[in-house]
Amino acid sequence: MNNYTNDNTTRRYKAHVSTVGTTQLHLRSPYIIAWWSAAFPGFGHLLLSKYLRGYSLIIWEVLVNNMSHLNQAIIYSFTGEFDMAKEILEPRWLLLYLPVYIFGIWDSYRTTVDMNKVFILAERENANFNSYVIGALEINYLDKRRPVMAIIWSFFTPGLGQLYIHRVVTAIFIMILMIVFVYFSNVLIAVHYLFLGEISQATAAINPQWFLYMPSQIGFAVYDAYVNTVENNNLFESEQRKFLQENYQQYRVKIPASDEVN
């Protein structure tokens, strides 16, 4: 592979390979990105590789949701205990929650539309980009990996699928979140009681405020790992194809027709 440097001599690049991950542009559905932002603020931005914005919204979601007791109120609403849901909600934090929640959905949708346009222009320009980097702490390079393995590892522990495809910062962030959610939700204690057959104690041990974060996080980790594995594979093929065209396609071998051979 060629080792180019993204030095801004070209107007648009499709990707950038660094020691902590591969960042690339590709077409995305604005509706899917907006849906992930609705499921958990910040997840849509992580799918767009807007990491600082995504991490900020995720931290904000955990903080404000806990202070407003929103997840606990959702559980009460699902079980028909609407009076308890109203009583437990903290209005000062809930009113702070709504504007940023709506902003996350709107901004991720808008950004997806814009980035799709940028990708189309970058694809037409088809500029060279770095495909290999080696540093004091890490080595990263484009290659092909199996999407099914990214899914399997993400199911075992969210974040491992991201490590598999070398999305290091996101992997660490997701794994730290998982540790926090598992610890405060008491889910492993509940699993222990389930193995002992004590279902009532398992149900009582669960902290629903923290447990309700986990389905969204596991689903996102699986989806993000799968999509980025597929797109990294496509990026590898695109870079390899261009390299072969530029370096070998000019050497053409003329194969004589069968009558000329005779």
Give the model confidence (pLDDT) of 113-172 as tens digits.
999 999 999 988 888 888 889 988 889 999 999 999 999 999 999 999 999 999 999 999
215 has pLDDT over 80? yes
Could you tell me the pLDDT band of residue 260, with boundaries at 50, 70 and 90? low
d(CA 222, CA 128) in angstroms, rounded, equals: 30
Domain that holds residue 42: 15-51+102-246
d(CA 171, CA 162) in angstroms, rounded, equals: 5
First to last CA, the chain: 42
Q: Domain total for the chain? A: 1
Mean per-residue pLDDT for 204-222? 93
24 has pLDDT over 80? yes
**In a domain? residue 32:** yes
The pLDDT of residue 11: 80
Mean per-residue pLDDT for 82-88? 88
d(CA 136, CA 133) in angstroms, rounded, equals: 10
d(CA 246, CA 240) in angstroms, rounded, equals: 10
The pLDDT of residue 7: 56
Mean per-residue pLDDT for 77-102? 89
The pLDDT of residue 4: 63
The pLDDT of residue 1: 46
Mean per-residue pLDDT for 79-88? 87
Mean per-residue pLDDT for 241-260? 71
Please list the residues that pair with 17 across neighbouring strands. Answer: 22
**In a domain? residue 72:** no
Could you tell me the pLDDT band of residue 109, with boundaries at 50, 70 and 90? very high
**In a domain? residue 120:** yes
**In a domain? residue 209:** yes
**In a domain? residue 28:** yes
* Mean pLDDT score across all residues of the chain: 89
**In a domain? residue 163:** yes
Please list the residues that pair with 130 across neighbouring strands. Answer: 3
**In a domain? residue 168:** yes
The pLDDT of residue 9: 66
**In a domain? residue 88:** no
d(CA 206, CA 208) in angstroms, rounded, equals: 6
Q: What is the CA radius of gyration of the chain?
A: 24
Q: Which of 100-104, 144-148, 213-217, 239-243 has the lowest mean pLDDT?
A: 239-243
Q: Which of 12-16, 25-29, 157-161 has the lowest mean pLDDT?
A: 12-16
Q: By three-state DSSP, how is residue 132 classified?
A: strand
Mean per-residue pLDDT for 227-249? 88
Please indicate whether residue 126 or residue 259 has the higher confidence score (pLDDT): 126
Mean per-residue pLDDT for 240-256? 75
